[in-house]
Structure 1
Amino acid sequence: MTQQLQITKARTLKEKPEVAGIPFGSYFTDHMFSMDYSAELGWHDASIIPYAPIEVSPSAQALHYGQTVFEGLKAYNVDGDVTLFRPDENFKRLNRSLERLSMPKIDEEFALLALTELLKLEHDWVPDGEGQALYVRPFVFANEPYLGVRPAKNYKMLIVLSPVAGYYGAQLNPTSIFVEDSYVRAVRGGVGEVKFGGNYAASLHAQQKAADLGYEQVLWLDGVHQEYVEEVGSMNIFFVRNGELVTPELNGSILPGITRKSLIELASGMGYTVNEERIHIKDIEEGIKDGSVTEVFGAGTAAVIAPVGIMNIHGTDYRINGNEIGEVTQKLYDNLTGIQTCELEDKYGWVHQVTSTVK
């Protein structure tokens, strides 16, 4: 059925914060998008409404059995105009996550239209400082009040917006990562390749362990052998080895990141050889030792690119590129963010215009 989008504006508007001074994802705009699903009506009641708490039954299935998936993308302020970076890819991936969790798919074109209208309403919230953006969080969860283990019959989709500074602050400083060899994030055939809330809940204990040891991120190994590189925290990971880019191949337990996909295409277009392959952690350790692995970085929507300066492998700290940003990492960061902010030509058609010449 054709969806109609209703808009109800907030009576009072919030004071906009100094973006550089707020923690990532902690302050939200005046409005949000909401849509409901029932087995009888399908997706319905699509609306933009004032941001406010929602009513959820204590027996809502998401609270007990975890049917909840989400996405993350950013809106940018380009000389007063608002743009998005590859939002179609986010809604495609959201549908893949929904399918894997036996949840009803959304109309991707309508979701993008709804997000566009929400951003038009909230365009004054899109910050224009260096490295700043408006973080966009679409998510879907089961809200049927039923304590039975089966796919729910009722769901809610929301999109909330949050102004954010750079994930690691204004400077692109190298981070430190701890190779986790006790716990695992996911296994092939599970839900590691989708943005499922439970994946992140399962990662928290290891993340806290790494933080207690003085490291900022966790590098996950495969769930079977605990020998092959998979992801870093909420990011995909890349290595520069003998001047070429190497990243773990998608195997069913690794999230197919949109930043990952973009970097592979971008790097190839810049003349770099990019290899997607199964990577043994020992090969990385040996590569760091013999100098063939010269740079390491994570890639994801929130951080864009996070250079790695220290990597703890099985109890030994290794400094990568003198704990400084590498030349390849910097070039890729500059080119990708340049396209995202329209400072460089978008040869790939990745930038989606939301508003033009906002007054």
Structure 2
Amino acid sequence: MPFDIQVTRTREPKPRPPAGDLGFGRFYSDHLFLADHEGRGWQNPRIVPHGPIPLDPAASALQYAQAMFEGMKAVPGERGPLLFRPQMHIRRFNVSARRLCMPEVPEEDFLHALRALVREDASWVPTEPGASLYVRPTMIGTEAYLGVRPSRKYLLYVLTSPVGNYFGPRPTPLRLWVETEHVRAARGGIGAAKAGANYVAGMAAAERAKKAGFHQVIWLDQNHQHVEEAGTMNVFFRIGDTVVTPPLEDSLLAGVTRDSVLHLLREWKVKVQERPVSIAEVAEASARGELKEAFGTGTAATVSAIGELQWGEKVMRLGDARGEIAERLYRTMMELFGSRRPDRRGWLVPVDPS
């Protein structure tokens, strides 16, 4: 049996944010889902009004960063909201949980909770093109204990936020700085988990890049040779007639949008390689005129064109518009999210399955 969720509805509904000015992560819908774990499975599943969560100052989430999250989206459908590939997100969430010594959430219970929360706040799902309801499941260790070991108490919560495009309502191709000093994650570490610690590890370099006029950074491996990720995105390069993306290792995230893009490219008979790609190879391809386009993919970014890369003194320019393949991918995803393209792959899961 899935969770038996108790619902306490807000008595003070929030005003809806203005369409076209959502930004990313600025507004939050009326409710949260919560459940507790104290060693006997997940208990007390509930939906409550959005608000602060009490937490002991000695909680393991605060002391030892035992905290993780997932990011997914809901889009409008003709018969109600639709979740984009929630089962794959749930599996990735549980992979992160295992790596961080945290309890997994049964897939049936998790999907039931997501559906219940989005159904409760269905009116918060934006309808303007390119917008969505961002769904942020989060798990934190809550036990007050200063010894170094996994927490024995956990809180699972899910919040939702109506969002526009991560890079603004009219995004232009991104300028990215290739980071050669800091490392986001190393092999054998927690880079493949969606842990909060991975994101704070990249903030110093990202802030330095933004001050220099770049949108984000390209992360290299621990030896500063091979490309891994692009800020909050997986990254793809079109070299000649081949689209190349780094293979999944334990130092980078297995993106759901990345997987979706690979499916589409292979359906379209585009030559794709998942293989190590060095930043030197990218620079050499650019110098030869063979670097045709580059783009990043992610739940928030969808498909975002990269217009410029800077690696030390070397500047690689790719143009002021999406490349041919990035444009086709972006349009395909937008048409899917807008119910203007048949969902032949079953990626869109109804909140109300009936």
TM-score category by the smaller chain? over 0.9
1:347 to 326, 332, 344: 344
1:14 paired residue number: 14
1:324 paired residue number: 321
Matches within 5 A, 1:64-143: 64-79=63-78, 81-143=80-142
Q: Secondary structure at the match of 2:281?
A: helix
Take 1:243 and 1:342, find their aligned partners in 2: how far apart are those partners? 31
2:173 paired residue number: 174
Q: CA deviation at 1:345?
A: 1.5
Matches within 5 A, 1:1-359: 3-39=3-39, 41-79=40-78, 81-223=80-222, 225-320=223-318, 322-355=319-352
1:104-156 Cα deviation digits (max 9, x unpaired):
11111111111101111111110100111111000000000111100000000
Take 2:23 and 2:168, find their aligned partners in 1: how far apart are those partners? 10
Q: Secondary structure at the match of 1:182?
A: coil
Q: Number of residue pairs matched?
A: 354
Judge conservation of contact 2:2–2:112 (CA < 8 Å) in 1.
Answer: no
1:161-199 Cα deviation digits (max 9, x unpaired):
101111122334201100000110111110001101000
Judge conservation of contact 1:174–1:325 (CA < 8 Å) in 2.
Answer: yes
Letter in 1 for 2:129: E
Take 2:244 and 2:253, find their aligned partners in 1: how far apart are those partners? 16
Structure 2: 5+ residue stretches without partners: none
Take 1:58 and 1:157, find their aligned partners in 2: how far apart are those partners? 18
Take 1:302 and 1:232, find their aligned partners in 2: how far apart are those partners? 13
Take 1:245 and 1:22, find their aligned partners in 2: how far apart are those partners? 33
Judge conservation of contact 1:78–1:128 (CA < 8 Å) in 2.
Answer: no
Judge conservation of contact 1:81–1:356 (CA < 8 Å) in 2.
Answer: no
Take 1:129 and 1:335, find their aligned partners in 2: how far apart are those partners? 16
Take 1:228 and 1:46, find their aligned partners in 2: how far apart are those partners? 44
Take 1:92 and 1:19, find their aligned partners in 2: how far apart are those partners? 32
Q: Secondary structure at the match of 2:254?
A: coil
Take 1:278 and 1:240, find their aligned partners in 2: how far apart are those partners? 14
Take 1:26 and 1:173, find their aligned partners in 2: how far apart are those partners? 21
Judge conservation of contact 1:219–1:231 (CA < 8 Å) in 2.
Answer: yes
Distance of aligned partners of 1:113 and 1:356 in 2 relative to their CA distance in 1, 3 Å threshold: closer
Take 1:111 and 1:80, find their aligned partners in 2: how far apart are those partners? 22
Take 1:157 and 1:220, find their aligned partners in 2: how far apart are those partners? 30
Instruction: Using the TM superposition, name which of 77-86 and 121-130 deviates more.
Output: 77-86
Instruction: Using the TM superposition, name which of 95-104 and 78-87 deviates more.
Output: 78-87
Letter in 1 for 2:174: T
Take 1:147 and 1:171, find their aligned partners in 2: how far apart are those partners? 47
Take 1:236 and 1:104, find their aligned partners in 2: how far apart are those partners? 27
Q: CA deviation at 1:79?
A: 4.1
Take 1:3 and 1:172, find their aligned partners in 2: how far apart are those partners? 40
Take 2:264 and 2:239, find their aligned partners in 1: how far apart are those partners? 17
Judge conservation of contact 1:82–1:356 (CA < 8 Å) in 2.
Answer: no
Q: Secondary structure at the match of 1:20?
A: coil
So what's the TM-score if we normalise by structure 2?
A: 0.97
Judge conservation of contact 2:76–2:337 (CA < 8 Å) in 1.
Answer: no
Judge conservation of contact 2:3–2:113 (CA < 8 Å) in 1.
Answer: no
Take 2:303 and 2:2, find their aligned partners in 1: how far apart are those partners? 39
Take 2:287 and 2:199, find their aligned partners in 1: how far apart are those partners? 32
Q: CA deviation at 1:342?
A: 2.1
Distance of aligned partners of 1:356 and 1:252 in 2 relative to their CA distance in 1, 3 Å threshold: closer
Letter in 2 for 1:293: L
Take 2:131 and 2:336, find their aligned partners in 1: how far apart are those partners? 15
Q: CA deviation at 1:94?
A: 0.4
Take 2:271 and 2:211, find their aligned partners in 1: how far apart are those partners? 37
Displaced runs of 4 or more, over 4 A: none
